Chain A
Amino acid sequence: QQPVQSPQAVILREGEDAVINCSSSKALYSVHWYRQKHGEAPVFLMILLKGGEQKGHDKISASFNEKKQQSSLYLTASQLSYSGTYFCGTDPRIQGAQKLVFGQGTRLTINP
């Protein structure tokens, strides 16, 4: 039931691009993306609602393939501040429940 994220870890140089994938075995109502820095709370990045829309702000964007129950997070021209662990949270919206099931996380390290 837990979504699967890939890769588990990524090491980049500043300015490089990264793609983080999130795959679920269940039909989804939405996918939420969070970034968590060490010792801090997860910070909301964006939500993708069913309908296959792609969203983004600044140099971080995401897509949601409703048919495949997959979402991808795209980070372009990465900055040092992008370092952290990225989590996707899936919302199956079963019986109206509003809760998130999180993946195991993808650790992103950006080096100068």
Chain B
Amino acid sequence: DAGVTQSPTHLIKTRGQQVTLRCSPKSGHDTVSWYQQALGQGPQFIFQYYEEEERQRGNFPDRFSGHQFPNYSSELNVNALLLGDSALYLCASSPRREFIEQFFGPGTRLTVL
């Protein structure tokens, strides 16, 4: 049983560019949450998707947007990249019916130059 998978593993972009990160949840999970983890900090909640809609959002600007597909996989899009967007982006999945445990994927390391 595959766990949470994310792609790509690493990404280097320049300021002003746009980026798309992808996540496939653990089998049986229908809820996907995205977190941003800056170096030396705890993960910060960006937003959460289930039933193909954004349900909760953290304190992130509209440059951060997402999407969830019918197969529960999800994308995180960031427009107009800033140097401060450099971070590890983590995807976590959980079953909506029971928020007992979130499984995290390996993350995508984004570097903005």
* Given A97-B56, A98-B31, A98-B56, A44 and B102 contact (CB-CB distance below 8 Å): yes
Give the contacting residue for B103; candidates A40, A44, A87, A98; CB below 8 A. A44
Q: B residues engaging A (CB < 8 A)?
A: 4, 31, 33, 35, 40-45, 48, 55-56, 58, 90, 94, 96, 99-107
- Bound complex: CA A95 to CA B104 (Å): 24
Q: Is A47 an interface residue (CB 8 A)?
A: yes
Q: Which residues of A contact B (CB under 8 A)?
A: 2, 30, 32, 34, 40-44, 47, 87, 89, 91, 97-105
Pick 8 A–B contacts, CB within 8 A, sort by A: A41-B4, A43-B104, A44-B102, A44-B104, A87-B43, A91-B99, A98-B31, A105-B41
Contacts A42-B104, A47-B101, A91-B99 given; indicate if A103 touches B42 (C-beta within 8 A).
yes
Minimum CB–CB distance for B25 against chain A, Å: 14
Residues of B within 8 A of A91 (CB): 99
Q: A residues within 8 A CB of B106?
A: 40-41
Cβ–Cβ contact A44 & B101, under 8 A: yes
* Leading 4 A-B pairs by shortest Cβ distance: A102-B42, A98-B99, A41-B104, A97-B56
| In-complex Cβ contact of B58 among A40, A99, A104 (8 A) | A99
The CA of A30 and the CA of B98, in the complex, are separated in Å by 12
B48 lies within 8 A of A98 (CB): yes
B40, B55, B101, B105: which contacts A41 (Cβ < 8 A)?
Answer: B105
Closest to A2 in B: B42
Contact (Cβ within 8 A) A32 B43: no
Contacts of B55 in A (CB 8 A): 97
Once the chains bind, are A98 and B94 in contact (CB under 8 Å)?
Answer: yes
Which B residues are CB-close (under 8 A) to A101?
Answer: 45
Q: Which B residue's beta carbon lies closest to that of A44? A: B101
**Taking CB as reference atom, which chain A residue is nearest B98?**
A98
Q: Are A104 and B90 in contact (CB under 8 A)?
A: no
